[in-house]
């Protein structure tokens, strides 16, 4: 244990000078927006921005899906993402028949789960919103996915996610830590949601803004053990631990976040599984379903359960309509 603490502290010390330069750049950028030196566009249609301070792993996509379930009966929703990892550029409407290379894995996952919801990708969010409002004038709410640092748009409501296990206020700026900007950036959020809370946890009391808490629920199909799991997430350990807790786990292989699978890799996973049931997440499934499947693969989905759901739901609708 002491060895890992020493290695961690050494990493922080060695990378702190680079983190200081990164802090200066991001702080100057935020100062420019705060002083209105850079343009931030507002729209008449309410925009709900979801994001985080850390790099990946907070559960933004399950939160977008939670919001769709909550708000889709009341509003005509369009989800707009930049489409991280896609090989295309410009504005595209996401369709189930498209590939992750065309629109990104997470927007495609959302579209596959909610075909009745319009999903679009555009690296220029302002142009993306303008296209949405022009082509779908019936839109009454736009959800911006992974947009906390995208300050060219001024959202009506901004939700910042942070994991309970590694909260933003105990993290460091990249590359010494995982933060995209200084901890003070959390002040821009209208509310903070602490995700992936364990069964027994202490509520984090709010200071100058509401703080909500969410647990992660895995929805498993009927799976015959033993299982061999694989995933390409920002944090593969959580998924691996879930499989190990619920099933007899014969093996597991993790890949980097947004990993694009090849046929060769999929065939290798089948061989490694040694007749165990192959299991992956929905995010992985949308990247392998177009490949030749020589072995049945089960998928597990993840959803958020907000502990203070009634309070959060009422607060959010009030914010949107205020």
C-alpha distances in angstroms, 243 versus 13, 35, 224, 230?
36, 49, 12, 10
Rounded to two decimals, what is the model's pTM? Answer: 0.89
**Residue 119 CB-density burial (10 A; 0-12 exposed, 13-18 middle, 19+ buried):** buried
pLDDT at 4: 41
Task: For 44-69, write each residue's pLDDT tens digit.
Answer: 999 999 999 988 788 999 999 999 99
Any bridge partners for residue 78, and if so which? 118, 142
pLDDT over 80 at 20, yes or no: no
Question: What tokens does 35 get?
Answer: 């002083």
Which comes out higher in pLDDT, residue 20 or 317? 317
Left, alpha or beta for 52 (phi > 0: left; psi -120 to 50: alpha)? beta
| pLDDT band of 22, cuts 50, 70, 90 | low
Q: Which residue has the higher pLDDT, 37 or 4?
A: 37
Cα separation, 239 vs 155, in Å, equals 32
Give the tens place of pLDDT for each residue, 222-280: 888 999 999 999 889 999 999 999 999 999 999 999 999 999 999 999 999 999 999 99
Lowest mean pLDDT among 68-77, 78-87, 229-238, 290-299: 290-299
What is the pLDDT of the chain when averaged over all its residues? 90
Q: How confident is the model at residue 15 (pLDDT cuts 50, 70, 90)?
A: low
User: How many angstroms separate the CA atoms of 112 and 257, rounded?
Assistant: 19
Q: What is the pLDDT of residue 1?
A: 52
């Amino acid at each position: 244990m002491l060895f890992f603490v020493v290695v961690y502290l050494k990493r922080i010390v060695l990378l702190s000078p680079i983190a200081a330069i990164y802090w200066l750049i991001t702080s100057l950028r935020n100062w420019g927006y705060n002083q209105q030196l850079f343009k931030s566009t507002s729209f008449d249609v309410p925009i709900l921005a979801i994001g985080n301070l850390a790099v990946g792993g907070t559960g933004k996509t399950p939160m977008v899906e939670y919001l769709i379930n909550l708000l889709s009966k009341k509003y005509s929703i369009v989800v707009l993402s930049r489409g991280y990892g896609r090989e295309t550029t410009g504005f595209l409407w996401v369709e189930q028949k498209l590939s992750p290379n065309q629109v990104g894995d997470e927007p495609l996952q959302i579209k596959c789960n909610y075909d009745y919801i319009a999903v679009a990708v555009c690296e220029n969010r302002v142009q993306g919103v303008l296209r949405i409002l022009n082509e779908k004038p019936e839109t009454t709410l736009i959800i911006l996915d992974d947009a906390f640092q995208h300050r060219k748009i001024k959202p009506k409501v901004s939700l910042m996610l942070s994991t309970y296990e590694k909260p933003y206020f105990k993290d460091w700026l990249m590359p010494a830590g995982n933060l995209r900007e200084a901890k003070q950036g959390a002040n821009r959020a209208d509310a903070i949601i602490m995700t992936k809370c364990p069964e027994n946890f202490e509520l984090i009391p709010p200071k100058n803004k509401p703080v909500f808490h969410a647990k992660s629920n895995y929805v498993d199909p009927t799976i015959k053990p033993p299982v061999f799991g694989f995933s390409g997430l920002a944090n593969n350990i959580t998924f691996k631990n879930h499989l190990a807790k619920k099933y007899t786990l014969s093996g597991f292989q993790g890949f980097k976040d947004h990993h694009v699978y090849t046929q060769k890799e999929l065939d290798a996973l089948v061989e490694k599984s040694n007749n165990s049931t192959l299991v992956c997440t929905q995010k992985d499934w949308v990247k392998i379903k177009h490949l030749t499947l020589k072995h049945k693969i089960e998928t597990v989905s993840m959803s958020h359960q907000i502990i203070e759901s009634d309070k959060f739901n009422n607060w959010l609708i009030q914010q949107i309509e205020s």
